[in-house]
A and B are shown apart, each in its own frame.
Chain A
Amino acid sequence: MFDLLLAGIENVLHLKYLVPLFLGTLVGLIGGALPGVTITMTIIIVLPFTFGLDPLQGLATMTGVYVGGSAGGAITAALIGIPGTPSAITTTFDGFPMTQKGQPGRAIWLGIWSSCFGGLLAGIFLIGATGPLAAIALEFGPWEYFSLFVFALSMVAGLTEGSLLKGLLAGVIGLAITIVGSDPIMSVPRFTLGTEFLRNGFPFLPVLIGIFAFAQLMTDIEKMKGSEHAAAPIKAPPLTVSHLSVLWEIFSRPFLLAWSTLVGILIGVLPAIGGSAATVMAYDQAKKFSKHPERFGKGNPEGIIASEASCNANVGGSLVTIMAFGIPGDAVTAVMLGAMTIHGIQSGPLFVSQHPQIAYGIYAAYLLAHPLMVLICAFGARLFLRVVTVPKSMLIPNVLVLCVIGAFALNNIMEDVVVLLLFGLVGYALVKARFPLAPLILGLILGDQIEVNLLRAIMSDANPWLFITRPISGFLLALSVASVLFALWQHRRQKGRTREVDQEPDF
Chain B
Amino acid sequence: MTRDGIAGLICLALAIGMLVLTRGLPQSSFVPLGPDFYPRIVLVIMAVLSALLIASDLWQRRAGAALAAASAEPAAERRNYRLVGITFAVFAGYVILLPFVGYRVATFIFVAALQSAFDPPRGARRWAMVLISALASAAITFIVFQHYLSVLLPRGKWTDW
List residues of A whose CB falls within 8 A of some B CB. 48-49, 51-53, 163, 165-166, 168-169, 172-173, 175-176, 179, 183, 185-186, 188, 190-191, 217-218, 221-229, 391-394, 396-398, 400-402, 404-405, 408-409, 412, 414, 417-418, 420-421, 424-425, 428, 430, 432-435, 451, 454-455, 458-459, 462, 499, 501-502
Contacts and interface: CB of A to CB of B under 8 A. Distances in A.
Given A176-B18, A190-B25, A185 B115 contact: no
A307 to B, nearest CB: 27
A53 B99 CA distance: 26
A421 B45 CA distance: 27
Contact of A224 (B76, B118, B134, B137): B118
A272 to B, nearest CB: 18
Interface string B48-84: 0110110010000000000000000100110111011
Nearest to A229: B119
Given A179-B39, A393-B119, A402 B88 contact: no
Contacts of A391: 119
A499 B21 CA distance: 39
B98 A51 contact: no
**Main SS at interface, chain A:** helix
Contacts of B49: 165, 168-169, 172
Given A165-B53, A397-B110, A175 B18 contact: no
A193 to B, nearest CB: 9
Given A185-B31, A409-B153, A179 B118 contact: no
B83 A392 contact: no
A143 B56 CA distance: 33
A226 to B, nearest CB: 8
A420 B154 CA distance: 15
B107 A221 contact: no
Interface residues of B, number: 67
A277 B56 CA distance: 28
B46 interface: yes
B73 to A, nearest CB: 8
B46 A401 contact: no
Q: Which 7 pairs, one residue from A and one from B, show the smallest C-beta to C-beta distance?
A: A393-B118, A183-B35, A393-B119, A52-B149, A433-B7, A188-B35, A397-B114
B99 to A, nearest CB: 5
Contacts of A408: 153-154
A223 to B, nearest CB: 7
Interface string B71-110: 0010011011101100110011011001100000001001
B37 interface: yes
14 contacts: A48-B151, A165-B53, A172-B45, A188-B26, A190-B21, A222-B81, A397-B118, A401-B110, A404-B98, A408-B154, A414-B98, A414-B99, A434-B3, A435-B7
A179 B21 CA distance: 12
B28 interface: yes
Contact of B21 (A48, A191, A228): A191
A421 B21 CA distance: 25
A218 B144 CA distance: 27
A454 B38 contact: yes
A502 B111 contact: no
Given A52-B148, A404-B98, A405-B153, 7 more contacts: A165-B52, A179-B18, A397-B111, A432-B3, A459-B32, A501-B73, A502-B76
B129 to A, nearest CB: 9
Given A172-B46, A191-B21, A425 B88 contact: yes
Contact of A169 (B32, B50, B81, B91): B50
B1 interface: no
Nearest to B50: A169
A183 B17 CA distance: 19
A486 to B, nearest CB: 18
A299 to B, nearest CB: 30
Given A229-B119, A392-B118, A454-B38, A428 B4 contact: no
A454 B37 CA distance: 10
Residue of B33, B36, B152 with most chain A CB atoms under a 10 A cut-off: B33
Contacts of B14: 176
Interface string B112-128: 00110011100000000
A401 B87 contact: no
Nearest to B86: A221
Contacts of A225: 80
Given A165-B53, A417-B95, A459-B32, A173 B46 contact: yes
Contacts of B152: 409, 412
Contacts of B92: 421
